[in-house]
Amino acid sequence: MKLNHVGIDISANTFTAIIDHEGARTEAIDLPNDAKGHKKLIKMATKKGHQAKVVLEATGVYSLDLALALHRAKRVQVMVANPRAIGQFAGAYLRRSKTDSIDANLIVEFAMRMEFEPWTPPEPHTFDLRAISRRIEGLIKMATQEKNRLHAATRFDEMSEVVRNDIEVNVRHLERRVERMREQARALIAEHPELERAFLHITSVKGIADAAGIQILAELAVLPEDMDIRQWVAHAGLDPRVFQSGTSVNKPARISRQGNVHIRRALFMPALVAAQYEPNVKAFYEKLLGRGKTKMQANVAVMRKLLHAIHGMLKHDRDFDGEKFYAIGA
C-alpha cells in the first residue's frame, strides 16, 4: 500500500501542509482554510491512488471543518491531535524555532512516529442542532430588519398602508417561524439525553432562558470534548488581547473577537440579565464597575466568566452555583 503522511499546521484563514511519501517530503504547501483549500489538499494527498494518514492539531473551530472534510474523503484517515501531545513531542525534538513550515514538519514526524488514533467526528445531531440555531438567528435578523423599516417609515410618514400591512404580516410570519424552529430545536435536544442534560445545566443560570440556552448549547455541542476552558474562551473570541508598541503605545486590553461570533451573541443578553437578577453575578458585575470598568467592559467580563461557569457545569454534570461563580464579599 502506497501511503502518504501529512502534517498540517492550521490557523483561522489558512493552513500549511507537508506531505511525506516514504521519506521524500514536499515543500510547505499554503492553502486557504475553506472548502476549496480542503479539496485541493485531499487531491494532493491521495494523488496516484495513494492512501493518506493526516494529522492536524486540535484548534477548535479552525480545525473542525478541515477534519470533517478529511474524514469524509476516500483513502484518507485523519487524526486530530491534542496540542499538549504535539508540544511534548516538540520538546523531545528540542525544537527552538516556530514557523508554520516548521510546525507542519514536526506534525509529519508525529504522524510517522507516534501511534495513529483515528478521529471520531461529533455526532450528526449536534450539527443539526447548530444548523437550526443559526437559522433561528438568521430569521430573527430578518424580522429585526423589517421592524426597523417599519419604525423608520412610521416616523416620517413615508409608507403606504399597503406596504405597512405587508411588513407587519411578514414580521408576524417570521416570528412564527422562529417559534417553530425553536420547537424543533427543543425536540431534538429532548431526543438525546446528553444534550438534554447539558441544556438543563445551562438554563439553570438566571438570565439564560430556553432561547439563549439553545443558541449556547448548539455552538458548544460540536466542540471537541478535550478542549479546555482557555480554548473555549479563545474560540468564542472573548480572550483579552494587549496592544503595545514601544513605549508610546499601550492601549487597554480588549477582547480579540477572533472567534465564534455566535457564542458571543448568545451570551450578551444573558450576561446583562444575570447581572440584574442573579445575586452573585450582580455582585461580580458591580465590583467591576466599582473598579472603574465601563458597563460594556463589565458585561464582557460577565460573559467570559459565564462561559467558564458553563464549562465547569458541563464537565462536572452540575447546575449553576452562584458561590462558585463569585463569592459575595470576596
The DSSP line for 139-179 is HHHHHHHHHHHHHHHHHHT---HHHHHHHHHHHHHHHHHHH
- Judge if 259 and 300 occupy the same domain: yes
- Per-residue pLDDT at 244: 43
Question: What does the block give as the cell for 55?
Answer: 494529522
Give a yes or no: residue 76 inside a domain.
yes
- Count of Cβ atoms closer than 10 Å to residue 147 Cβ: 16
Alpha helices in the chain (DSSP H): 35-45, 61-72, 83-92, 100-113, 124-156, 161-191, 193-202, 210-220, 229-235, 261-277, 279-290, 295-316, 322-325
Q: State the residue range of the domain holding 89.
A: 3-113
Do 107 and 166 sit in the same domain of this protein? Answer: no
From 191, 211, 245, the end of a domain falls on 191
Considering the domain boundaries, does residue 84 fall inside one? yes
Contacts of 308 (CB under 8 A, 6+ apart): 229, 233
State the residue for C-alpha cell 457564542.
263
Helix axis angle, 210-220 relative to 261-277, nearest 10°? Answer: 140
**Same-domain check for residues 130 and 46:** no
> Can you read off the three cell numbers belonging to residue 218?
448548539
Report if residue 206 sits inside a domain.
no
Element housing 253 (H / E): strand 249-255
Q: pLDDT in tens for each of the 330 residues of the chain?
A: 789 999 998 887 899 999 998 888 888 899 999 999 999 999 999 998 999 999 998 776 678 889 999 999 999 999 988 777 787 887 776 555 556 577 888 898 888 888 898 988 889 999 999 999 999 999 999 999 999 988 877 766 667 888 888 999 999 999 999 999 999 999 999 999 999 999 999 999 999 999 999 999 999 998 877 778 988 888 788 877 544 444 444 455 566 556 688 999 999 999 999 999 999 999 999 999 999 999 999 999 999 999 999 999 999 999 999 999 999 876
**Do 19 and 39 fall into the same domain?**
yes
Question: Looking at 93, 113, 133, which one is the last position of a domain?
Answer: 113
Residue 207 lies in a domain: no
Give phi and psi for 16, each to the nearest 5: -115, 125
Same domain, 18 and 109: yes
Q: Is 59 inside a domain boundary?
A: yes
CATH of the domain at 85: 3.30.420.40
pLDDT at residue number 246: 44
pLDDT given at position 243: 43
Whole-number pLDDT of residue 250 = 44
Whether 244 maps to a domain, the answer reads yes
pLDDT at 227: 78
**Does any domain span residue 212?**
no
Residues 244 and 145 in one domain: no
Same domain, 53 and 137: no
CB 181 within 8 A of CB 210: no
**Of the candidates 78, 113, 148, which is a domain's last residue?**
113
Per the CB < 8 A criterion, the answer to whether 22 and 45 are in contact is: no
Does residue 135 sit in the same domain as residue 93? no
Q: Based on the structure, what is the number of domains in the chain?
A: 3
Q: 119 in a domain, yes or no? A: no
Cα–Cα distance, 325 to 98 (Å, whole number): 37
pLDDT value of residue 90: 77
Co-location of 173 and 226 in the same domain: no
